[in-house]
């Protein structure tokens, strides 16, 4: 683990008060850990924007009765098998399914896959949770 280095920042009082209130609601025990998490989140965003090797989960809810939707979902997943690490399929009710794809690889390939899945008719909701492979996050 890298050694911790103390730094100082100047903030407007209202901004600091709002930050303290937010991190209190989130259960942080101190400002330092909250700031570290904010910095990590920004670094992950940059990794994705720069097209680096990233990881994430993609969740989608869809109507499995929609004509040809399941076959199109499977075709897209097979076309992108190099970035799909694993999948989880859950039957929510008689009509709706939830799938979670665990993804790892170049950000551009993952984004192409998730954009294509989102655009399919019958897909009701999607969420992409972006993260990093961890190489740059101490």
**Is 8 a member of any domain?**
no
Instruction: Examine residue 78 and state whether it is found in any structural domain, yes or no.
Output: yes
- State how far the Cα of 71 lies from the Cα of 68, in Å rounded to an integer: 5
Q: Do 41 and 93 fall within a single domain?
A: no
pLDDT given at position 46: 87
Which of helix, strand or coil describes residue 107?
helix
Give the residue among 87, 97, 86, 83 at the shortest CA–CA distance from 125.
97
Position with higher pLDDT, 126 vs 47: 126
Q: What is the pLDDT of residue 1?
A: 67
Q: Tell me what pLDDT residue 3 has.
A: 85
Q: Extract the runs of DSSP E, i.e. beta strands, from the chain.
A: 53-63, 84-91, 96-106, 123-132
Q: What is the pTM of this model?
A: 0.81
Question: Is pLDDT at 138 greater than 80 in this prediction?
Answer: no
Closest of 96, 83, 92 to residue 128, by C-alpha: 83
Domain of residue 102 covers: 53-132
Structure confidence at residue 29 (pLDDT): 93
Whether 42 and 73 map to the same domain: the answer is no
| Whether the predicted pLDDT of 68 surpasses 80 | yes
Q: Is residue 4 part of a domain?
A: no
């Amino acid at each position: 683990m890298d050694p911790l280095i103390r730094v100082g920042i100047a903030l407007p009082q209202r901004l600091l008060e709002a930050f303290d209130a937010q991190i209190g609601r989130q259960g942080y025990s101190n400002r330092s850990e909250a700031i570290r998490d904010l910095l990590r989140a920004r670094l992950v965003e940059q990794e994705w924007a720069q097209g680096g090797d990233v990881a994430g989960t993609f969740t989608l809810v869809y109507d499995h009765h929609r004509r040809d939707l399941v076959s199109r979902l499977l075709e897209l997943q097979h076309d992108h098998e190099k970035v799909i690490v694993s999948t989880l399929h859950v039957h929510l009710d008689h009509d709706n399914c939830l799938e979670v794809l665990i993804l790892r690889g170049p950000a551009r390939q993952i984004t192409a896959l998730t954009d294509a899945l989102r655009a399919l008719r019958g897909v009701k909701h999607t969420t992409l949770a972006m993260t990093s492979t961890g190489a740059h996050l101490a």
